[in-house]
Structure 1
């Protein structure tokens, strides 16, 4: 595979706002943009269609985006694969990579023995996957193509880094 720099580090947490505020206070990251109940038209967890209701907070920390994510609904998911439901455990869940083709690169990882934990699609057709690399690296990989809407969002978050005029967290809508 070509050079694929880490674009984002994502942490699974019980409360994205509290996690964002704590990270900002400790490391100066942010501000964080919070998307509640991110809409998905498809969420296939290990081959089984499932509901996935999640909320994320996105902020900048140096050259990398930080995401805090919480699952709002009970049940199996790629998040609960790493941090079992009810365990109270939290931590790094995935790192995100921009790839040329989600389909091809997901298949390439599968051929290397890494299972596809999630195949998801948003209402605008944006698709992403989680590849289960936990046994090898301690976290999953999130793969997505650098569509204009995504790179624009990354650019916006980076541009706003250090601008706390509206507070540490700001509500936004995705989808």
Structure 2
């Protein structure tokens, strides 16, 4: 497998806006763009189709994108696998990697002991997965193919990092 640089570091938090504001104040990251209630057409958690209602804030911190994630609905999920529902715990959840072929990368990682925790698809057809690598790395891996739309979003967030004061700037919608 070719080198896979980290494209994003993601934290599970109870409030994406508050977490983004705090991170921006502490580290100068941002600006942050918030997507509330990200629409999914499919979310398969450990082989079981489940509802997953989550929100995310995305910002830039140097060379890497930062994401803050919150789960808006109760129940099992890849987020709650690491931070059990009701525990009050939060922290690093996953790092994201671009892969050329999602199915081949999943097969490679699962062949080396990772397990598929989430296979999800957004309403725009974009697919991503979470691999459980907690025992090995202490967090999950998120994998997705670098589509033109995804690369454009990453570039937009990176470019805007130098254009605005830090903090939460606006809400965005994914669909």
Q: Give the structure-1-normalised TM-score.
A: 0.97
> Which residue of structure 1 aligns with residue 118 of structure 2?
118
> Which residue of structure 2 aligns with residue 160 of structure 1?
160
**What CA distance in whole angstroms lies between the structure 2 residues aligned with 1:71 and 1:17?**
13
CA contact (8 A) 1:117 1:132 kept: yes
Matched residue SS, 2:6: coil
Q: Give the structure-2-normalised TM-score.
A: 0.97
1:163 shift after superposition: 3.0
Correspondence 1:48 to 2:72: no
CA contact (8 A) 1:39 1:122 kept: yes
CA contact (8 A) 2:38 2:55 kept: yes
1:125 shift after superposition: 1.1
1:107 shift after superposition: 1.2
More strand as a share of residues: 2
The residue correspondences of 1:9-158 to structure 2 (distance < 5 A) are 9-158=9-158
1:165 shift after superposition: 5.2
**What CA distance in whole angstroms lies between the structure 2 residues aligned with 1:83 and 1:154?**
27
**What CA distance in whole angstroms lies between the structure 1 residues aligned with 2:166 and 2:173?**
16
**Structure 1 segments (4+ residues) deviating >4 Å:** none
RMSD: 1.1
* Deviations 1:79-110, CA, capped at 9 Å, x for gaps: 00000000000000000000011111011111
**What CA distance in whole angstroms lies between the structure 2 residues aligned with 1:131 and 1:165?**
35
| Change beyond 3 A, Cα 1:150–1:141 | same
- Count residues with an aligned counterpart: 175
**What CA distance in whole angstroms lies between the structure 1 residues aligned with 2:167 and 2:143?**
30
1:166 shift after superposition: 8.8
Matched residue SS, 1:25: helix
Stretches of structure 2 lacking an aligned partner (at least 5 in a row): none
> Which residue of structure 2 aligns with residue 5 of structure 1?
5
**What CA distance in whole angstroms lies between the structure 1 residues aligned with 2:47 and 2:167?**
40
Stretches of structure 1 lacking an aligned partner (at least 5 in a row): none
1:124 shift after superposition: 1.4
Matched residue SS, 1:116: strand
**What CA distance in whole angstroms lies between the structure 2 residues aligned with 1:162 and 1:83?**
33
